[in-house]
Structure 1
Amino acid sequence: MDVKVTTLKNGLRVISDPMPSLETAAVGVWVDTGARHESAAENGISHVLEHMAFKGTKNRSALEIAEAIEAVGGHLNAYTSRDQTAYFARVLKDDVPLAVDLLGDILQNSTFDEAELKREKEVIVQEIGQTQDTPDDIIFDHLQETAYPEQPLGRSILGTSAQVRGFDREMIAHYMKSRYLAPKMVLSGSGAIDHAALVELAEKAFGDFASAGATDMESAIYKGGEYREERDLEQIHYALSVPGASYSDDDFYTAQILAGLLGGGMSSRLFQELRERRGLCYSVFCFSSSFADTGVFTVYAGTGEEQISELSNVLGDELLRSTEDILEVEIERAKAQHKASLLMGLESPASRSEAHARQLLIYGNVLSSAEIVEKIDAVTVEGTKRFARALFSGINPTVAALGPLKNLDSFDHIAARFN
Structure 2
Amino acid sequence: MPSPIMTWTRDVVREVLPNGLTLLVQRDASAPVAAVVTHVKAGFLDEPDRWQGISHVFEHMFFKGTPTRGVGQIARETKSAGGYLNAGTSYDHTAYYVVLPAARLAEAVDIQADALMHATVDPDELARELQVIIQEANRKLDTAAAVTQETLHEVMFDYHRIRRWRIGFETQLAGFTRADVVGYYRSRYVPERTIVSIVGDVEVESALRLARRTYGSWQAGPAELDRSAEEPAHREVRARSLSGDVTQAEVALGWRGVPPLDPRAIPLDLVAAVLGAGRGSRLYRAIREPGLASSVSAWHYAPTELGVFSIDATCPAERVTEVVERVAEEVGALVRHGPSDGELERARTLLTARWSRGMEEMDGRASALATAEALGDFRLLDREFAELATTTAEQVRQAAADCLDPGAVSGVVYFPRGVGAKFDAEELKAIFARPVGTAPATPGSNGWSPRPAGREHQRTSKRVRTEAEVSHLPLPGFDLLVRRKPGIPLTSFGVYLPRPGFDPAGKAGAGALAVRSGVRGAGPLDA
**TM-score of the superposed pair, with normalisation by structure 1:** 0.95
Matched residue of 2:304: which SS?
Answer: coil
Q: Aligned match of 2:74 in 65, 68, 73?
A: 65
Give the 5 Å matches for 1:183-332.
Answer: 183-207=192-216, 208-221=218-231, 225-276=238-289, 278-325=290-337, 326-332=339-345
For residues 430 and 53 of structure 2, the distance between their equivalents in structure 1, rounded to whole angstroms, comes to 36
Give the 5 Å matches for 1:4-403.
Answer: 4-207=13-216, 208-221=218-231, 225-276=238-289, 278-325=290-337, 326-369=339-382, 371-393=383-405, 395-403=407-415
Shift of 1:321: 1.2
What 5-or-longer segments of structure 1 have no aligned partner? none
Contact kept, 8 Å, 2:159 with 2:229, in 1: the verdict is: no
Greater mean alpha carbon deviation, residues 359-368 or residues 250-259: 359-368
Shift of 1:393: 2.4
Shift of 1:408: 4.8
Contact kept, 8 Å, 1:28 with 1:353, in 2: the verdict is: yes
* Corresponding letter in the other structure for 2:351: H
Measured at CA, do residues 383 and 21 of structure 1 come closer, stay the same or move farther in structure 2, by a change above 3 Å?
closer
The number of aligned residues is 417
Shift of 1:368: 5.0
For residues 40 and 82 of structure 1, the distance between their equivalents in structure 2, rounded to whole angstroms, comes to 14
Contact kept, 8 Å, 2:251 with 2:314, in 1: the verdict is: yes
For residues 137 and 375 of structure 2, the distance between their equivalents in structure 1, rounded to whole angstroms, comes to 29
Measured at CA, do residues 395 and 193 of structure 1 come closer, stay the same or move farther in structure 2, by a change above 3 Å?
farther
Larger Rg: 2
Contact kept, 8 Å, 1:219 with 1:293, in 2: the verdict is: no
Matched residue of 1:107: which SS?
Answer: helix
Measured at CA, do residues 391 and 406 of structure 1 come closer, stay the same or move farther in structure 2, by a change above 3 Å?
farther
For residues 394 and 302 of structure 1, the distance between their equivalents in structure 2, rounded to whole angstroms, comes to 21
For residues 50 and 203 of structure 2, the distance between their equivalents in structure 1, rounded to whole angstroms, comes to 43
* Identity over aligned pairs, percent: 28
> Which has more helix, going by share of residues?
1
Tell me the alpha carbon deviations over residues 230-259 of structure 1, each in whole angstroms, 9 at most, x when there is no partner.
113210011111011211111111011010
For residues 230 and 368 of structure 1, the distance between their equivalents in structure 2, rounded to whole angstroms, comes to 42
Which residue in 1 is equivalent to 2:448?
none
**TM-score of the superposed pair, with normalisation by structure 2:** 0.76
Measured at CA, do residues 403 and 193 of structure 1 come closer, stay the same or move farther in structure 2, by a change above 3 Å?
farther
Contact kept, 8 Å, 2:298 with 2:311, in 1: the verdict is: yes
Shift of 1:219: 4.6
Contact kept, 8 Å, 2:81 with 2:107, in 1: the verdict is: no
* Corresponding letter in the other structure for 1:52: M
Contact kept, 8 Å, 2:372 with 2:381, in 1: the verdict is: no
For residues 213 and 176 of structure 2, the distance between their equivalents in structure 1, rounded to whole angstroms, comes to 31
Which residue in 2 is equivalent to 1:412?
426
